[in-house]
Amino acid sequence: MGVVYHANYLAWFEVGRGELMRSWGMPYAYFEERGIFVPVVEVSARYMAPARYDDLLRIETEVAEFSPAKLKFAYRIVRAADGQALCQGWSLHGFMSRETGRPIALPRFAPDLWQALGERIANA
């Protein structure tokens, strides 16, 4: 059909949030080194137009919610050539202890990380 498979958009969401966190100097590996996993617990995508093979795409990512227990990213995937919005969505992530596999409150578990992340979100 010449269109991109719908599940690829979720992979592009991951690329968008990974690049955003990396641009803040806080890649996911940094969280894991601190004993914190940030798994996806819920995701949503709304498809508005298809991406076609060889389209160049722009992934726009921002933090939509931030609390002691969770982080929600919002995404917009746009065709670079004409600015057509192709997909928008979000992903919800919980903070979890690598050691116990249980949810954690980030401010209590890693107050310095909580503060640094909050500052980057506020300045975005």
- The domain in which residue 100 lies consists of 8-122
Domain count, the chain: 1
Amino acid 68: pLDDT: 98
Average pLDDT for 22-51: 96
2 in any annotated domain: no
Amino acid 2: pLDDT: 86
Which candidate, 79, 94, 82, 101, places its Cα nearest to that of 39?
94
1 in any annotated domain: no
pTM, entire model:
0.94
CATH number at residue 89: 3.10.129.10
* Residue 51, CA distances (Å) to 43, 46, 88, 91, 109 in order: 20, 13, 13, 20, 41
54 DSSP assignment: T
**pLDDT tier, 77 (very low <50, low <70, confident <90, very high otherwise):** very high
Q: What is the mean pLDDT of the chain?
A: 96
Average pLDDT for 80-103: 97
Give the pLDDT confidence of 1-27 residue by residue, as tens digits: 789 999 999 999 999 999 999 999 999
